[in-house]
Amino acid sequence: MSERLPELGWMRIFVEVGRLGSFSSAATLLGLTQPAVSYQIRRLEEQFGVSLLRRQHRGVELTAEGERLLEVAAKAVGDIDALARSFRIEAQRPVVRLRTDYAFSALWLIPRMDGFRLLHPETDMQIVATQRLAAGFRDEADVAVVFGTREEFGAIGTLLLPERVVPVCTRGFLDRNGPFSDPEQLAKVRLIHLDAPPPWPWFDWRRYFAEFSVRRDVNAGRGDISFNTYSLVIQAALSEQGVAIGWMGLVDTLLSSRMLLRAGPPLEARDRGYWLVPPRSPNVHSERLSAWLSNEVKRND
């Protein structure tokens, strides 16, 4: 027959009786009656098979066995109380949700997130990255950063990063395949594409070359590669797989560190880019995150 383990509901009662030396004082503190406290201690002594308290004319005194039990129980109660307090504090910490795409979150936001945490250490940030925002996204986030046109988001948002692009590649790829002094030469090398279901509101290679009236030979750049997320496009460029379209704001750090180089003339679309969209019902946390995003873009402009 297995050994019967003692119940633990008594623990706080015993700790308070031992600490205060009184059934009545412990009962008052815990919101119980004195007989209820006395009954719990009597049951506890029956379970342990030893006397834990010596009843005196005024109050009670711990026996040697009671002292040993109190040392263990008081630590356990203290640890549980501390854990409960931490649970409550964590549950009460404000969380601000930012919904955006993989490219912005990976290449722009993550390298800068420490700045928001240092400025607002009391607030947790939750990043929800998705390739395409569903209808009603303003109801599911405190702040959204979305790529699109003024026609789509101009009435509800603020243009955070206008679309400015430039072809990018590594020094090694440029040395082996360049120079690319004009788009005509660029059209002859291996290109890295962002593969997304049309219509997409950004510069792709077809639109880029059309801006310079360049027609790309179907046999040029054999071995072109495509990815369905922009982070992989940039990773492929860093791995010297070809030339990618670099969105300024997302690849600035890579350009300044010379990990990537400009490989052609830039283009821009002033009415297109990343828009900062507030929630339908702003709150202090969404306003703080929006202000930080705007200031961070200006600081790095």
Q: Report residue 137 as tokens.
A: 């996204």
Give the domain-ending residue among 70, 92, 114. Answer: 92
Claim to verify: residue 107 and residue 198 sit in the same structural domain: yes
Residues 252 and 118 placed together within one structural domain of the fold: yes
Structure tokens given for 276: 């900062």
- 61, β-bridge pairs: 54
Same domain, 81 and 107: no
Tens-binned pLDDT, residue by residue, of the chain (301 aa): 344 545 557 888 998 898 899 999 988 888 889 999 899 899 888 888 999 999 887 888 999 998 999 999 989 888 888 887 777 766 667 788 888 988 999 999 998 988 988 988 888 888 888 776 666 666 666 889 989 899 988 898 999 999 999 999 999 999 999 888 889 989 889 999 998 777 678 899 999 999 999 988 766 667 899 998 899 999 999 999 999 999 999 999 999 999 999 999 999 998 899 999 988 888 888 899 999 999 999 887 6
**In-domain check, residue 86:** yes
Domain's final residue, options 71, 92, 113: 92
Residue 262 counted as domain residue: yes
Q: Which domain holds residue 88?
A: 11-92
Cβ partners under 8 Å of residue 283, min gap 6:
142
Residues 257 and 238 in one domain: yes
224 within a domain of the structure (yes/no): yes
Indicate if 163 and 61 belong to the same structural domain: no
Is 215 within the bounds of a domain? Answer: yes
Asked if 72 and 199 sit in the same domain, the reply is no
Q: Answer yes or no: pTM beyond 0.85.
A: no
Judge whether 1 lies within some domain.
no
Peptide linkage before 179 cis (omega within 30 of 0)? yes
Nearest to 17 by CA among 65, 57, 64, 70: 70
Q: Residue 1 has what pLDDT?
A: 37
User: Is there a single domain that holds both residue 279 and residue 149?
Assistant: yes
Q: How far is CA 68 from the centre of its chain?
A: 46
297, 252 contact by CB (below 8 A): no
Domain harbouring 281, CATH code:
3.40.190.290
Report helix angle 23-30 to 34-48, nearest 10: 110
SS (H, E, C) 156-192: CCEEEEEEEEEEEECHHHHHHHCCCCCHHHHCCCCEE
Distances (CA, A) of 5 to 16, 26, 44, 47, 243: 22, 25, 11, 9, 69
Could you tell me if 115 and 243 lie in one domain?
yes
Per the structure block, which two tokens stand in for 258?
């010379």
Nearest to 123 by CA among 152, 85, 159, 94: 94
With respect to residue 4, please indicate whether it lies within any of the assigned structural domains.
no
| CB contact at 8 A, 231 and 129 | no
In a domain, 27, yes or no: yes
Alpha-carbon span 143 to 146, nearest angstrom: 10
In a domain, 218, yes or no: yes
| Residue 28 and residue 152 share a domain | no
Closest among 198, 204, 242 to 222, alpha carbons compared: 242
Helical axes 34-48 vs 11-20, angle rounded to 10°: 110
For residue 12, give every residue at least 6 positions away whose Cβ sits within 8 Å of its Cβ, in sequence order, or none.
30, 77
What CATH number has the domain bearing residue 46?
1.10.10.10
Based on the fold, state whether residues 64 and 186 are members of the same structural domain: no
Of 65, 92, 119, which residue sits at a domain end? 92
Q: Are residues 268 and 170 in the same domain?
A: yes
Query: Given this model, what pLDDT does residue 5 score?
Result: 47
Give the number of domains in the chain. 2
Is residue 71 domain-shared with residue 115, that is, in the same domain? no
Hey, is 249 helix, strand or coil?
coil
